[in-house]
Amino acid sequence: MNTAEQKLSTELLPLTYAWLTLIALTLASLFLGQWFSAAPWLPPLVAAIIWFKGVLVAQRFIEIGLTHAFIRRVVYGFVAFTPLTLVAVTYFGAQLAGWASL
């Protein structure tokens, strides 16, 4: 085995761990939704899982740490938008629907 192959395998190892973490978090979200579907604490927990998965993808696969600070902030804002919206719709769904209707 030459050094290029060894280097490649060590670079892929963190990505493999990140990928396995994403799969585990997805399965955990599914099981939590199945077992605790009516629990009031479930939407914030799922939102936290979604946020963590987004940050993990941004850091490991998009490599957001290597970008300009402005781009990094935009991506992290985009990653935070979905979980925050999930929590807002969960607790203020009727009011948001009223604002969105014509």
For residue 6, pLDDT beyond 50: no
Q: Would the pTM of this model clear 0.75, i.e. be above it? A: yes
What is the per-residue pLDDT across 18-49, written as a single tens digit (0 to 9) for each? Answer: 999 999 999 999 999 999 988 989 999 999 99
Domain limits, the chain: 14-100
* Cβ–Cβ under 8 Å, residues 32 and 46: yes
Cα 15 vs. chain centroid, distance in angstroms? 15
| C-alpha torsion 61→65→69→71, nearest 10 | -10
Cβ neighbours, 10 Å, residue 50: 20
Backbone φ and ψ for 18, nearest 5 degrees, come out as: -65, -40
